[in-house]
Structure 1
Amino acid sequence: MGEAFGSIGDPLRSLPETVAVSCLGGTTDLLVHVVCRDTGHLRVLTLQSFTSRPEVSRIETSRVFSFERSGLPVDRGA
């Protein structure tokens, strides 16, 4: 993640609910994949860990109802 996102990326990656943090191009800067036990947990997490940060001006959440891996390998190199 670029230096500009370091101040927010490291704390978000350290959350126990965080699966992955991706730096994006376009109108959305970050995609944070989290796992929560229910919508109440998601609400508390977003309020306490995301919207309370000065770097965050807008947040959008989406729920995943099903997930299936493609089986394609992921290159984790630099």
Structure 2
Amino acid sequence: MSTELDPIDERIVALLSADGRMTNAALADAIGLAPSTVHTRVRALVDRGVITGFHAALDQGALGRGLQAVIGVTLRPGARQESIRAFTQEVRRIPEVIQVFFLGGADDFLVHIAVEDSSAVRRFVVDHLSARHSVASTRTSLIFEYHRNAVAADFD
């Protein structure tokens, strides 16, 4: 299926990216089309895989997890395919993990976490990363500010 967007679809995507809870009536008003037309177009964007979901943005601080960090992880050489799969599947299930990125470059992974404090960052790295036989090294960077322009879908 084609993922080329005409100007109307581009506008729908931009509006929903800014506010995923925007009603169909508000979308139709903003674009100047009938609500039934906008509904059909949104449904087509979902069916084509352009829109993959509607998400709630969470305030991690309000959840008691006000410190975020990104941890670069390098795996040990040997049996890499199995290590990559296992690492991805296991780490993304840990409650503190917000995102996991599989990379090409110096690090094999970037793991984005949200935790209570610096002691929790240390515990996470020691208990969930360094304790794994497959992990050769980690490199932790604290996040001071976080700005999101869009929510990206999984590559799977």
Return the TM-score normalized by structure 1. 0.85
| 1:67 aligned residue | 146
Q: Determine which structure has the larger helix proportion and give its number.
A: 2
Partner of 1:6: 85
Unaligned runs of 5+ residues in structure 1 are none
Q: TM-score, normalization: structure 2?
A: 0.45
| Residue 102 (structure 2) aligns with | 23
Unaligned runs of 5+ in 2: 1-80
Alignment match of 1:47 (pick from 126, 132, 135): 126
Measured in 1, the distance between the counterparts of 2:143 and 2:119 equals 15
What percent identity do the matched residue pairs reach?
26
In 2, the alpha carbon distance for the partners of 1:27 and 1:51 equals 17
CA distance in 1, matches of 2:151, 2:123: 34
Per-residue CA shift, 1:16-64, capped at 9, x if unaligned? 0001111000111001111111000010111000000011000000011
Alpha-carbon spacing, 1:75–1:10, altered in 2? closer, same or farther (3 Å): closer
Partner of 1:58: 137
In the alignment, the residues of structure 2 paired with residue 73 and residue 65 of structure 1 have an alpha-carbon distance, to the nearest angstrom, of 20
Aligned-partner SS, 2:143? coil
> Quick one: higher RCO (CA 8 Å, sep 6+), 1 or 2?
2
Corresponding residue pairs, total: 76
From the two aligned structures, give the one with the greater strand fraction. 2
